[in-house]
C-alpha cells in the first residue's frame, strides 16, 4: 500500500478551464468540486508545480478522462525526466514515478475524455510505504440516500452519494503501525491519495485499487510481544471522499 503524504503541490494551472470550475479546485478535499475544461473541450493540459519536496508519484481522482500522459519536467520545462502513459475507465489514475525527485518540478498532465474533460482532485508528493493488506480485503458501499417507508409498503428514495468503503487488515513490522498511527495523528480523517495494493495494481487491475480516501477512525493494532514475533496486526477502514 502507498499513501501520498505530504502533498507537495504549490499550484495547478490548466490551458482550458470554465471560469466557474478553475484548476484551483483540484487542490481542495472535495472531488465533486471539480475543475472543468469548458464546453466542447475534450482535451486539456494541467501543469502541476511542486515545492521541491520528495515526489514519488501523482494521483488524479474524480475524472472522466480515459487516456493521457504524465511528463515530469524541470521548472523551465526544457528537460523531461520521464513520461508515462495513462489509460483506464475507473475515473482515477495513480502514477508511480520511476524515481523519487527532490527538486521543484513542473508535471505536465495531458488528458483526453469523450466529452468536456474534468477532474476532482490532484495530489503529488511523497509515498509512505506499507506492506499490502492481507488477502481478501472487505469492500462495500456507504449509502447516503434518504429512504422513507410509505404507508402502502413502498419506499421513497432520494438518491445521494454512495462512495466505496474498504476494511483493510495488515500484519507488518511494528514500525509500519507507528507510521499509520503517526499519519492519523498528523492528518486525522482528512482525505489522502491511496494505492491500496501494489500486487493488485500489477495484476492488470490498476487504478481500480486507488483513490482519494478518508481513514475513517484511528488505526487499531495488536502487538506481538514474544521473542518469536515482533509483528503487529492492525486494521483501518477507508472511505472514498466525495
Helix (H/G/I), strand (E/B), else coil: 218: coil
| pLDDT at 62 exceeding the cut of 60 | yes
Look up residue 213 and give its three cell numbers: 480516501
User: DSSP letters of 117-138?
Assistant: -EESEEEEEEEEE-PPPPSS-E
Confidence of residue 207 (pLDDT cuts 50, 70, 90): confident
pLDDT for 208 = 79
pTM of the entire predicted model: 0.93
Question: Nearest to residue 1, comparing CAs of 240, 233, 199?
Answer: 199
> Does residue 6 have a cis peptide bond before it, meaning omega lies within 30 degrees of 0?
yes
C-beta separation of 105 from 80 below 8 A: no
Average pLDDT over residues 140-148: 93
Measured CA distances, 215 to 17, 122, 175, 183 (Å): 31, 18, 19, 10
| Residue 207 to residue 225: CA distance in whole angstroms | 37
- Helix (H) / strand (E) element for 150: namely none
* Domain 2-129 superfamily per CATH: Galactose-binding domain-like (2.60.120.260)
Q: Which residue's entry shows cell 524515481? A: 99
Residue 176, C-alpha cell as written in the block: 509500519
Q: Are 215 and 3 in contact (CB under 8 A)?
A: no
How far is Cα 184 from Cα 133, in angstroms, rounded to an integer? 18
Q: Show me where the domains of the chain are located.
A: 2-129, 138-193+203-240
pLDDT higher than threshold 90 for residue 226: no
> What element of type H or E holds 193?
strand 192-195
Other CB atoms within 10 Å distance of the CB of residue 121: 26
Amino acid at each position: 500500500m502507498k499513501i501520498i503524504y505530504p502533498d507537495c503541490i504549490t499550484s495547478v494551472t490548466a490551458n482550458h478551464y470554465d471560469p466557474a470550475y478553475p484548476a484551483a479546485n483540484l487542490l481542495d478535499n472535495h472531488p465533486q468540486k471539480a475543475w472543468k475544461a469548458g464546453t466542447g473541450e475534450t482535451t486539456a493540459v494541467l501543469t502541476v508545480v511542486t515545492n521541491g519536496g520528495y515526489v514519488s508519484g501523482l494521483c488524479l481522482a474524480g475524472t472522466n478522462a480515459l487516456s493521457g500522459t504524465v511528463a515530469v519536467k524541470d521548472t523551465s520545462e526544457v528537460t523531461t525526466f520521464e513520461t508515462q502513459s495513462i489509460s483506464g475507465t475507473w475515473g482515477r489514475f495513480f502514477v508511480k514515478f520511476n524515481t523519487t525527485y527532490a527538486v521543484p518540478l513542473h508535471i505536465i498532465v495531458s488528458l483526453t475524455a469523450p466529452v468536456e474533460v474534468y477532474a476532482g482532485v490532484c495530489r503529488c508528493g511523497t509515498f509512505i510505504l506499507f506492506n499490502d493488506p492481507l488477502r481478501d480485503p472487505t469492500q462495500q458501499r456507504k449509502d447516503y440516500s434518504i429512504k422513507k417507508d410509505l404507508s402502502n409498503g413502498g419506499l421513497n428514495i432520494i438518491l445521494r452519494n454512495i462512495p466505496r468503503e474498504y476494511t483493510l487488515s495488515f500484519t507488518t513490522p511494528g514500525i509500519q503501525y507507528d507510521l499509520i498511527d503517526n499519519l492519523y495523528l498528523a492528518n486525522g480523517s482528512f482525505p489522502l491519495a491511496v494505492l491500496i495494493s501494489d500486487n493488485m495494481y500489477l495484476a492488470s487491475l490498476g487504478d481500480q485499487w486507488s483513490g482519494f480516501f478518508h481513514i475513517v477512525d484511528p488505526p487499531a493494532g495488536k502487538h506481538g510481544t514474544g521473542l518469536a514475533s515482533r509483528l503487529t496486526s492492525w486494521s483501518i477502514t477507508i472511505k472514498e471522499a466525495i
